[in-house]
Every structure is written in C-alpha cells, then in structure tokens.
Amino acid sequence: MARGTRRGGGRRLGCSLGALVLIVLLVLGIGWWLGNRGLPTGPDGPLPGPDETEQTQPADCPDVQMIAVPGTWESSPTDDPFNPGFLPNALLRTITDPLSEQYPDERLEVFTVPYVAQFRNPQRPNEITYDQSRAEGTERARAELAAVHGRCPYTSFILLGFSQGAVIAGDLTNEIGTGNGPVPADLVRGSVLIADGRRLPGEGQSPGLSPGNGQGMEISLQPATGLTQLIAGATMTGPRPGGFGELADRTAQICDSRDLICNAPLNVVDGAARFQEFVANNAIHAMYATNPDVIAGTTVPEWTIGHVNELVDAAPEIAHE
C-alpha cells in the first residue's frame, strides 16, 4: 500500500511538471510568434541603465558647430560671427556660405571668429603685429569653444582655418588633441588647415598633392625669429609640441607646394630671404579658392565642403530639452 501511494504521488508530480513545461513552451512560442510578426519589440540597442539618461541639451544648441578662423586681412574684431560681412570674397566664405545654406542652424552652426587679422610689415606699418593678432584670434576661438561646450555638452565641433587662421585653428587642434584644450578630443569631428604656417610633413593627413620637401615658415624660420620680429612683429614658434595628438587622423593639412607660408625651404638662410619675398608678393597664397593644382580633380573649397558634409552627416542628432 505504501509503495502504491508513493507511485501515485510520483504520477501526479510528473503531470504537474509536464504541464509547467508545456506552459513555459507555450509562452515562449507566443513571444516568438509576436516577434516575427514585425510588431515592436522595444528600442534598438540596450535600454538606459538606472543611472543613464537620454542625451538632451538646450534648444539653441546645434548638433555640430564649425569654428572658422579667417586668414590675414580677411576678418575684423567687430564682424558678425554668424553673418560675416567684412570681406565678401574671403576664402573661407567660399566654404562656410554654401555649408550654411545646406544645413539648418540646429544641425550645423558656423561661427566665423571675428578678430583683427593683421600682419604689420614694411608695406603696412600701421597695423598691429602678427603676434598680437594671432593671440586675439586664438583667445576668441578658444572662448567660443569653451562657452558652447559649457552650455551644450553634446555638441561636436569642426575646426577650419586659413593662413594665420590655420595657425590658430592648428594650435587649438594641438591643444585639444593633446588633452589641454577647451573641449574633449572625442567631440572634435575634424580639423581642416589651409596654408598652415606651422605645417610639419607627416603630421595630420594630406588630401592634396605632395607639397614637396618644405615645411611651415614658422618652423623653418624659428632660428631667425629675431629677424621676423623686426620685420613683422612675428615670433616664429616652430613645430607644435605633441603634434595633433588624438586628432592626427582627423586633421587635414592642405598646402600648395609653391606657397612659402606652408612650404618654406628647410634652410634658414634661404627661408629668411623667402620670408621677405613673401611679404612683398603673396600671389600663390591668395589663390586657394580657385587653384586646381592643390587637390587633384577639384579645388580646395569644393573638397572641404564635401569633407565637412561627410563629418556633419555622420554626427548624431541630439534631442533638445
């Protein structure tokens, strides 16, 4: 009797376990069926954790901000940074104007740094020195980066500069890439430097034709900086310590091989003579807007616009509060 009772209890337990397994399989089967009918199964990717929140920022914050630094004599400290009008045919306007037309401000905001942009020399003795001009441009660009990042923590940035502006944008790229800048390196989508006076072959990426065996004038003439200070109040600061750091693969260096600013001779004696030559005649330096011999098959503005298109289009869209 006792053995029969235990055997009967085992049958009841087996039935209960079988029913439980059947219910589990049924539930799993329904879930599989619903999932394969194309019904929503939740957002793509993992749900935010308990300490994570959706990335949002104020409504006036752009997804991407471009900091554009004009070259010598192409800006003014009183110019409107969002609608510059000091020099309508400035090189960077051939890039920034089309980009501003392509994107709404909430997607790409272009800030053209307003600074004195002068270069005192024997032909322009009443202008402020290169050192003073460069310092003003750097401070204004740095302040804008810091202010936007403080208000818009998820906005990313693109740096663009020409000539004196390329030195400024390159110096900021160096600061950020080596961990000493006003924004983190991972928020900089790219940097484009056109005719950078501190260009060092092998640093950054060169989308154009090989500029030859020269280097930036500020590197070649660093040993003769006393002469350049006398001629133009210009300190030749040499190569950038640390290069572009984390931003080396995101920094484009564009230089015409005939341009003495970004491709000066390595020999300091020849470089000093060529510096005075440049002060007197900078025709090649002023031709980047139309010169077909810098980047094969296109011009510098056309290439830069296409490059920035790729950077902006790949940037995430940030929700607004």
Q: What is the pLDDT of residue 22?
A: 33
* C-alpha distance from residue 204 to each of 169, 178, 191, 237, 276 (Å): 13, 13, 9, 18, 28
Q: What is the pLDDT of residue 126?
A: 85
Pairing of the two strands 64-69 and 251-254? unpaired
Residues catalogued as catalytic: 163, 259, 285
| CA triple 169-246-51, angle to 5 deg | 110
Handedness of CA 11, 16, 22, 24 (dihedral sign): negative
Reported as a single tens digit per residue, the pLDDT across 154-182 is 999 999 999 999 999 999 999 999 999 99
Reported as a single tens digit per residue, the pLDDT across 86-106 is 999 999 999 999 999 999 999
Reported as a single tens digit per residue, the pLDDT across 141-158 is 999 999 999 999 999 999
0.85 surpassed by pTM: no
CATH no. of 61-320: 3.40.50.1820
Reported as a single tens digit per residue, the pLDDT across 288-301 is 999 999 999 999 99
Cα 150 to chain center, whole Å?
A: 17
User: Which sequence spans correspond to the domains of the chain?
Assistant: 61-320
Low-confidence ranges of the chain (pLDDT < 70): 1-53, 268-282
